[in-house]
Amino acid sequence: MKYLKYSLLFTCCLLCSVVCAKNHPKKIIQVLIVDGFSNHDWKQTTKMVKQILDGSGLFNITVSTIPVNLQDSTVQSSWKPNFKKYDVVIQNTNNIQNPKLKWPLSVQHELENYVKNGGGLYILHSANNAYPDWAEYNKMIGLGWRSKSFGYALTVDSLGKIDSIPPGQGQDTYHNDRSNLLISVLNPHPINRSYPKQWLTPDVELYRFARGPAQNLTVLSYAKDPLTGINWPVEWIVKYGKGKVYVSSMGHLWKGDTYPPAYRCIGFQTTMIRAVEWLGSGKVTYPVPKNFPSATAVSMAPLDVK
């Protein structure tokens, strides 16, 4: 009788947990995309990013387009996004083409505090070209498109060890023509859990001599320079206060491009979704699809799926 009593109690608890789980679905991650100017096609980039993330069902996406004064090409001071409303901010602005385009100081400080207090920040492709004179931004991104005197550059040797190139040595940041690259996973992480050790991605710019403070930084993956044989970081994460920053050189979309191979890549799409989920929740539940690329074959979504 006592055994039956406890069995019934256990069954009731189990049923209750199932019902509670159904009544409390997975929390939707709130994402803010910041755009408005870039030397890349920021409008098409935002459209593609939103489409990829929406397809996962994990996110609610809001876009904040920075208003620019047409008279002097400066950012309007009226732009005051509330970062605290979001779990993740995706940074899709770049002022390399016009250094006068800067975030208002108050908004810079708001982003810094947001990340320091636990927010997630995704630096999308050319966003790491931006704001070299914003000291805390340089700390948040770890490495960016900078002059050779600016900071440290990182390479990965044949044994997977990180080597540091001091300021003044080597070259300014640059890239050659886009090409298919073999991405090599360096450090295991929830973002790349269950990935093959290497996978091919198409039409990518490999950044050489990305430079910066390189503090609290972990390289997740790298690719070999087809010209020199040097291994350069492709993805890295930075711990900034209580927050997390993800940076990737993948995601190039130039003016005139429409759903280019780099964005059709199943590997890129999967990685973006998993990175944003990790930034927003600290966990990754999005599965690695069966058609994820291998070390010998690129895998792309068809052109009519967009």
Render pLDDT for 69-117 as a digit per residue (tens, 0 to 9): 988 889 999 999 999 999 999 999 999 999 999 999 999 999 999 999 9
Domain count, the chain: 1
* Per-residue pLDDT, 24: 53
Alpha-carbon span 247 to 42, nearest angstrom: 17
pLDDT tier at 21, thresholds 50, 70, 90: very low
Read off φ and ψ for residue 66, nearest 5 degrees: -70, 125
Residues 104, 79: contact at Cβ < 8 Å? yes
Is 110 within a domain? yes
Is 52 within a domain? yes
pLDDT for residue 22 is more than 70: no
Average pLDDT over residues 285-303: 98
Is 137 within a domain? yes
pLDDT for residue 263 is more than 90: yes
User: In 10 A of CB 158, how many CB atoms?
Assistant: 8
Is 7 within a domain? no
Alpha-carbon span 306 to 140, nearest angstrom: 32
Is 306 within a domain? no
Q: Residue 51 belongs to what H/E stretch?
A: helix 42-54
Q: Report residue 161 as tokens.
A: 């060890």
* Per-residue pLDDT, 305: 58
204-228 pLDDT, tens per residue?
999 999 999 999 999 999 999 999 9
Residues 128, 110: contact at Cβ < 8 Å? no
Is 288 within a domain? no
CATH number of the domain enclosing 211: 3.40.50.880
Is 223 within a domain? yes
Is 1 within a domain? no
- The length of the chain is 306
What are the distances in angstroms from CA 10 to CA 5, 13, 15? 9, 5, 9
The domain of 185 spans: 26-281
151-191 pLDDT, tens per residue?
999 999 999 999 999 999 999 999 989 999 999 999 999 99
